Structure 1
Amino acid sequence: MTPLQQRTVRELVLHIRQERYPAGHHLKASFLAEQLGVSRSPVNAALAHLAELGVLEHDRNRGFFLRCPADELDSALVALVGGSEDPLYQRIVDLRLARQLPDKVLESDLMRLLDTSRANLGRVLSRIQEEGWIERRAGQGWEFLSLIDSRQAYEESYYYRLALEPAALLSPDFRADPAELAECLRQQEFIAESGYLSMTPFELFEANSHFHETLALWSHNRFIHQSLVRLDQLRRLVEYRQAARRAPRREQALEHIAILQCIAGGELVEAAALMRRHLNQALRAKREFRLEP
C-alpha cells in the first residue's frame, strides 16, 4: 500500500472507533472521503484492505459493512498503527529526533546515508514538507524546521498556547457549532468513561488535537486556528512516542468536558479560565516527565 493508503487505513479505523459504530454498520466511501479529507481512491483501498484483514465484510452489490462492534477493534487497530508506517519516513523521523541529522541537508547526502533512490527519497521529503517540518532551500538542498522535541521547546509551546487558547474563547466572534459541540462532548465522554484504557497513543493525541483545534476554529479568527493547527503538526512526531510511555490520563478528558459544558451554557469567561488552568496543569506534567526521543 502507498503511504497515503496506509494513513487512510489508520484514520479510517480511528473514525470507526470514535463513532462507535455497531456491527453491520454500512461504510460508504463517499461519506468517509469527506470525513477524512481525502479522495475516494485511498478510501476504497483502505476499505478493501480492512476487508482482507477480516475487519469488514464486502458485498459486491451493497458495499462494505463492519463485522464487529467498533469497541472490539482494539487489537486490530494496534497492529495497524504500529506496523504500517513507511520505513524510510520512520528512519528520517528517528534520526531527526535523535539529532543525528543536521538542520541543512543535501538530497545526495541523504540518499547515501539512507541507501535509497532519489525517487523514494523525494516522495518521503514531499510528505514531510506537507507536514510542515522541512522546507526546500532557495539555493540547494533542504532545511529541517524546529520540532517540539525538548523540555525547553515544550515549555515555549505551552506558554504560547496559554496566550492563544483562552483568548480564542473570549473572541468577540466566538460561536460554537451545536452539532460539532455535541460530537466533541460525546467523544470526550467516551474517553473519560473507558476509552482511555484501550485507545492507542495515536487515537488519544488526535482526539486531544481535535478538541483544541475545534475550539480555536469556533473563535472565527483564522490566525488563532492556523497557529494551533501548525503547533499540533510540530507536536505529532514526538507526542506519539511520549504518549506510549505514559499512563493514560482520564483527567484530561474530564477537564475537556468541563470546558465544553461551560461553552454550551454560554459561560465563556469561565471556559477561558478552565482552559488556562487545563494548560497550566499540562505544562506542569511536561516538566515532571523526562523527554526521550
Structure 2
Amino acid sequence: MIVTVDTRLRLALMSPLQAEIARKIAGFIQDGRWAVGDRISDAALSKELGTSRTPVRQVLQLLCEQGLVAQSPKAGFHLNRTIGESADLDTLIPPSDTEALFTSMMMARANGAIGDEASEAELADQFSVTRGAVRRALMRFSSEGLAERRPGHGWRFAECLDNKQAVEESYAYRILIECGAVCEKSFRPNTAELSALRAQQEKLSQSSLADISRADWFEANANFHATVVSWSQNRYLLQSIRRQNSLRRMTEYAEFTQLSEKRIHRAARDHLAVLDAIEAGDCKLAAAILYRHLSRTALPAEVPGEFD
C-alpha cells in the first residue's frame, strides 16, 4: 500500500481525537471486523466510540486516501483493502505528539511520578515539553474522566487503582454492572460486533506474549467489556463501564510487564466462553462466566494486577 507524502502529513496533523479514532478503526480492520466490500457505518462507529459523526467521517475520508476505505455517493463508506496481521499500525497511522505525551503521563501517574495534583508548568518541566502540549494532553485526561482542572493552572487527577482496596472495590462494582447488563431484559447482542469480538479474542488466545503490545492488549479487553455492556441498551451502564476502563488504563498500562502468556490466553478463553453463551441465548450462563472471570477471589494470589 502506497501512502503519499500529503496523506502522511495530514495523518500526522490529525487532532488527538482523530488520531485515536483512526487507530481504533485501523485496529478493527486489522482484526477482521469487515470483509472487503462490507459497508462501514459512520453512525454506528460514532455511537460505539462515543463521539460525533464528524471526526469519524473525517478519519474515514483520510483512510480513503490510503486505499483502505472507499466511498461512493449512494452506498457511503465500505472496506476496500484489509490490513495484514503483521502490519505496523504506528507506521500506517502515526501516533500524534499529544498521544505519545498522554501515554507517558499516564504511565508516570500510574507509577507515582505524578501526584494527585500538579500544575501545567510543573508537568511541562517534568516532560520537557511546552505548556500547550501539556494542556492538550490534560484535556484528553479530562475527556476520559481522569483529571479535572483546578483554579488557576492546577489539575487534580482521578484516583489510581493503586492499592488492594481500590482494586477490589472496582471489581465488585464491575461485577454488578457487567453481570447486571447481561441480564437486562433489553439485552440484545449485535451480530457484527459479536463476530468482531470473537475474531479479536481468538487472535489473542493464539498469540505469543512477544506479539502483543501493551496498548493492543488493553484496548482489546476494554473493548470487549464495554461492547458487551452496550448490548444492554442502557446508556448509564455503558457510561459506568467506560469510566472503569479509564481508571484501569493508568494502572494496567504500568502492570502489563507482569502479565504472563498463560494469563492472556486464559482471559481470552473466558471472553470466548461469554460470547458462546450469549450467542446461544443463555444470558444467565454468560453472567455466571463473567462473575467467575471478574471475581478477585478466583485469581492466583501470586499474580499481581488484572487486565480484564
**Both structures adopt the same fold (TM-score exceeding 0.5):** yes
How far apart are the structure 2 equivalents of 1:169 and 1:263?
Answer: 8
Equivalent pair of 1:171/1:219 in contact (CA under 8 Å): yes
DSSP-derived class of the 2:160 partner: coil
| Residue among 76, 81, 86 paired with 1:74 | 86
Tell me how far 1:241 sits from its aligned partner. Answer: 3.7
2:176 partner letter: A
How far apart are the structure 2 equivalents of 1:264 and 1:57?
Answer: 30
- Cα distance 1:137–1:31, how it changes in 2: closer, same or farther (>3 A)? same
How far apart are the structure 1 equivalents of 2:125 and 2:17?
Answer: 25
Residue 251 of structure 2: aligned partner: 238
DSSP-derived class of the 2:184 partner: coil
TM-score, L = length of structure 1: 0.75
How far apart are the structure 2 equivalents of 1:39 and 1:75?
Answer: 22
**1:99-158 deviations in Å (ceiling 9; x for gaps):** 232322233333444444332222222122112211012566221111223444322211
Tell me how far 1:276 sits from its aligned partner. Answer: 0.9
2:228 partner letter: L
Tell me how far 1:11 sits from its aligned partner. Answer: 2.1
DSSP-derived class of the 2:113 partner: coil
DSSP-derived class of the 1:288 partner: coil
Residue 18 of structure 1: aligned partner: 31
- Cα distance 1:12–1:262, how it changes in 2: closer, same or farther (>3 A)? closer
Equivalent pair of 2:18/2:56 in contact (CA under 8 Å): no
How far apart are the structure 2 equivalents of 1:64 and 1:263?
Answer: 27
DSSP-derived class of the 1:154 partner: helix
2:287 partner letter: A
| Residue among 288, 295, 299 paired with 1:273 | 288
- Cα distance 1:89–1:271, how it changes in 2: closer, same or farther (>3 A)? closer
Residue 130 of structure 1: aligned partner: 143
How far apart are the structure 2 equivalents of 1:269 and 1:275?
Answer: 10
1:223 partner letter: Y
Q: RMSD of the alignment, in Å?
A: 3.8
How far apart are the structure 1 equivalents of 2:253 and 2:131?
Answer: 28
Alignment length, in residue pairs? 278
DSSP-derived class of the 1:171 partner: coil
How far apart are the structure 2 equivalents of 1:154 and 1:183?
Answer: 29
Residue 181 of structure 1: aligned partner: 194
1:208 partner letter: N
Equivalent pair of 1:8/1:46 in contact (CA under 8 Å): no
Tell me how far 1:252 sits from its aligned partner. Answer: 1.7
**1:43-100 deviations in Å (ceiling 9; x for gaps):** 444665xx5xxxx6899x9x9954xx63x44251376799766443344223322323
Residue 39 of structure 1: aligned partner: 56
Equivalent pair of 1:8/1:43 in contact (CA under 8 Å): no
Q: Percent identity?
A: 29
Tell me how far 1:230 sits from its aligned partner. Answer: 0.7
The question of 1:210 aligning with 2:220 is answered no
- After the TM superposition, list the runs of 4 or more consecutive aligned residues in structure 1 that deviate by more than 6 angstroms: 78-83
DSSP-derived class of the 2:186 partner: coil
Equivalent pair of 1:169/1:268 in contact (CA under 8 Å): yes
How far apart are the structure 2 equivalents of 1:100 and 1:201?
Answer: 20
1:289 partner letter: V
Residue 4 of structure 2: aligned partner: none
DSSP-derived class of the 1:142 partner: strand
TM-score, L = length of structure 2: 0.72
Tell me how far 1:227 sits from its aligned partner. Answer: 0.8
How far apart are the structure 1 equivalents of 2:274 and 2:194?
Answer: 11
- Cα distance 1:99–1:188, how it changes in 2: closer, same or farther (>3 A)? closer
Equivalent pair of 1:155/1:283 in contact (CA under 8 Å): no
Equivalent pair of 1:184/1:211 in contact (CA under 8 Å): yes
The question of 1:288 aligning with 2:302 is answered yes
Q: Per residue, is there more helix in 1 or in 2?
A: 1
